[in-house]
Chain A
Amino acid sequence: MPRAFPKKPPAPLNAKPVEYVEKTPTVQSYLPEIFRGIGTSMRHWFKNTRDLIRGTRPDPVTERWADGITTIAYPEQKRPYPERFRGVHRLTVRDDGSPRCVACLCCSTACPAQCIYIEAGEYPEGDKRRGYERYPVKFVIDELRCIFCGFCVEACPCDAIRMDTGIHAVPYDSRDQFLYDKDILINFVGRDGTRETSNPRHEPGDPTHPGITRDHISH
């Protein structure tokens, strides 16, 4: 059977010198191109230096010299994140504090890193949502696997998962600390400081969800 990675054949004892490539004008024509490239770089360097001295171009480092400090003391100080920065996930809640998630596994399907694990369950007997919806019995995100692409947020039909906490992924001591379960995720707040979202949600009892009996049906 042929090997997938064949062994390197031993060097032949009767080695032959490789023929040296003759330095013809065609071969040597790369030299002018190199000098042209260096020339372009130098042109930009001189232009930038001139702008710097004239003060027409702000410098990211020297503009802070006025404060006397050029660096920030992370993590005590943090540079502001852009508005749509994708931070650690959170699970949004309904008005009664239960998760909006219906365990449809759309996020888990969309996730390219396969870092979301969900176990779906039915609401217990007597719950008004029983029959309409299911809920996540387990909802675990492996933040170590997550690549923070935001596909899960895009995929969610219920606005139940968001990445608007503004929290940068945190380093931990062990791998299992990166497994964020439902309780952790649901207790993160968004940047507006709430655990809800402003998007409305239909609940059983609304006119859109009149009930699971046929009492409301009239002829």
Chain B
Amino acid sequence: MPTFKLDGKEIPFEPGDSIIKAAARQGIEIPHYCWHPGLSAPANCRMCLVEIKPGPQQRAMMLDVLEFDPSINDYRPAQKPKLQPACQMPAVEGQEVLSETSPHVLKARKTVQELLLLNHPVDCPICDQAGECKLQDYWLEHQKTQKRMRDEPIHKPKAVVFGPTIVYDAERCVMCTRCIRFMAEVAKDPVLDMRERGNLNEICVAPGRQLDGHYTFMTEHVCPVGALTTKDFRFKARVWFLRSAKSICQGCATGCNAWLDYDPRYNKAYRYRPRDNEAVNKYWMCDGGMLSYRAAHVGRVTSAKVKGKTVTVEAALSEVTKRFSDTSRESIAFVLSAQHSLEDNWALREVARLAGSSNIYVTGAGPGYKDDILIDEDKNSNTAGVVELVPSLRPFPQLIEDIRGGRVTQIIALGGVTPRNDPEDVTALGMVSTLVTVAAHEGALTEAAHVVLPATSWAEQSGTYVNRQGFRQVADKALEPQGASRPAWEQLRALALALGLEPTWTKLKDIRKELTVSAAAVQSAPAVEPSPAP
């Protein structure tokens, strides 16, 4: 692999890499606002300027400048090298680049930073970006001086509503055009552009349009400053109070890698942020996915229920024992859920195996909107995982048919959601003599269930999900279990005991071990590449 020298350090690069990208891959950050690894490089923020030493046969391009000399208290002519934007200059074999070690570069960064802050309102206390703002970080890293301009800064429109999700503050904007480029290059909907010039420059929406579609939240995420804020997160929390857990979006089968930001003090999730994974979602997530963090709190089953009445888990389990005491376990139908983790489904499959039943069905949400960027038609996070566990699954319509035909009278199900919103399904589910559901979210199955056991959502337990590419991806635990909910595999263990079976697992570790043995042939998820900080 060819290399170049950055501050005397050898940096390998792939042909076509820019200097900033090659450095970022080595974990060296060259400060930048407009450059984003997933977008084109316009080189308009001028923060990533570096000094490139001339080649052996070349002469350095020097610029004549005036430099202030305190000893004579006047300016005197001097020369400085022409600096180049690292985001646009391709790396060249053997070239020597100076970043931190060049006084010209350090001065340029300081000056650029001061320029970007000239008309900035510095309203960090009321800005939602405070704490994760590039302007704050780079001010501390590269400037650390007050601005010298004594004039009133230019005032520009504030709190401009761009669309149903995004609010724009022109005064905070540094005109990096990341949002414009994201909409044009990734979302393929060039609805944003800029107007005016110089210090009146601002982002605007195409006339007659508003910023809508399926990828508006990403414009806020790529914004390095607080210019774009989402209505959803605006004024809700201060980011330094939040903790992040590695999570997997549950919105569809794509399985986008995400950070789930939550406040441990209130046990509350506040937002999703995309987690970079070149193989799955690159740097992006869709709006529906970004908002799906709400499912950690909305529509949850948090207490055990017997015929709709809230009871303790113990009472619900003794009801299960009573209901299944005089029937053979072989006739029970088991319904896996494509919305629950691999571990939960494994536990239910194990209960079915112990019970000697082979009637295994699957449920989950029905198909929905799809596009070519990220969103998949299958709205379940773990369809591939369930298929991997039980290759000969029977679909949900088959279950309804079997209930109608009298072949299924007792059901133990995982998950509450059913794929269809059909009143006939509700009627059919009402025909079974016993329906036990272990569910995190409410749905047709929990409505019809005689006994409901509360399970934790994906945010409250560690779980494995297999996405449409067949990657096994682990979502970490963020929140503490809400109400009486426990991980579904734990509830299923209690359920197996209530049925008089002897469960073979006690801990998550046991299930994980079984899963690694059973899926040795299955491709494991690629590690998240150390991708450059956007």
Contact = CB atoms under 8 A, between A and B. Distances in A.
A217 B125 contact: no
B158 A122 contact: no
Contact of A120 (B152, B155, B235): B235
B200 interface: yes
Given A106-B125, A134-B126, A213 B157 contact: yes
A75 B434 CA distance: 70
Interface in B127-173: 130, 152, 155-160, 169
Interface in A94-120: 102-106, 109, 120
Nearest to A132: B158
B235 A109 contact: no
B512 interface: no
Given A102-B125, A104-B126, A158-B125, A217 B240 contact: no
Interface stretch (A9-17, A66-74, A138-146, A204-212): A204-212
Interface in B105-139: 124-126, 130
B165 to A, nearest CB: 15
Contacts of A211: 155
A120 B238 CA distance: 10
Contact of A157 (B125, B159, B238): B125
Contacts of B125: 102, 104, 106, 157-158
A131 B238 CA distance: 18
Contacts, number: 49
Contact of A130 (B157, B159, B240, B241): B159
A121 B235 contact: yes
A115 to B, nearest CB: 13
Contacts of B130: 104
Nearest to A160: B125
Interface residues of B, number: 19
A216 B160 CA distance: 16
Given A109-B240, A120-B235, A121-B235, A214 B156 contact: yes
B238 A109 contact: yes
Given A105-B238, A122-B234, A207-B152, A212 B126 contact: no
Contacts of A120: 235-236
In this complex, the member of A121, A133, A208, A212 whose beta carbon has the largest number of chain B beta carbons within 10 angstroms is A212
Contacts of A207: 152
Given A103-B235, A120-B235, A216 B155 contact: yes
B154 to A, nearest CB: 8
A116 to B, nearest CB: 12
A203 B177 CA distance: 30
A106 B156 CA distance: 26
**Chain B interface secondary structure, helix, strand, loop or mixed?**
loop
A131 B235 CA distance: 11
A120 B229 CA distance: 15
B356 to A, nearest CB: 38
A34 to B, nearest CB: 53
Interface in B207-262: 234-236, 238, 240-241
B157 A132 contact: no
Contacts of B157: 212-214
B240 A210 contact: no
Nearest to A217: B200
Contact of A217 (B156, B234, B236, B241): B156
A133 B235 CA distance: 10
A66 to B, nearest CB: 54
B202 to A, nearest CB: 8
A208 B158 contact: no
Contacts of A219: 200
A120 B127 CA distance: 12
Nearest to B238: A105
Given A103-B235, A120-B235, A122-B235, A133 B155 contact: no
Interface in A179-219: 207-214, 216-217, 219
Nearest to A134: B235
Contacts of B156: 214, 217
A132 B152 CA distance: 17
Contacts of B169: 131
Contacts of B159: 130-132, 212
Interface string B489-522: 0000000000000000000000000000000000
Nearest to A204: B158
A130 B126 CA distance: 12
A217 B153 CA distance: 12
Contacts of A158: 125
Nearest to A215: B157
Nearest to A209: B155
Contact of B152 (A102, A103, A208, A217): A208
6 contacts: A104-B124, A104-B238, A158-B125, A212-B157, A214-B157, A219-B200
Interface of B: 124-126, 130, 152, 155-160, 169, 200, 234-236, 238, 240-241
Given A106-B125, A122-B235, A214-B157, 18 more contacts: A102-B125, A102-B126, A103-B235, A104-B124, A104-B125, A109-B241, A122-B234, A131-B169, A132-B159, A133-B126, A134-B235, A207-B152, A210-B155, A212-B160, A213-B157, A214-B156, A216-B155, A217-B155
Closest 3 CB pairs of A and B: A131-B159, A104-B125, A120-B235
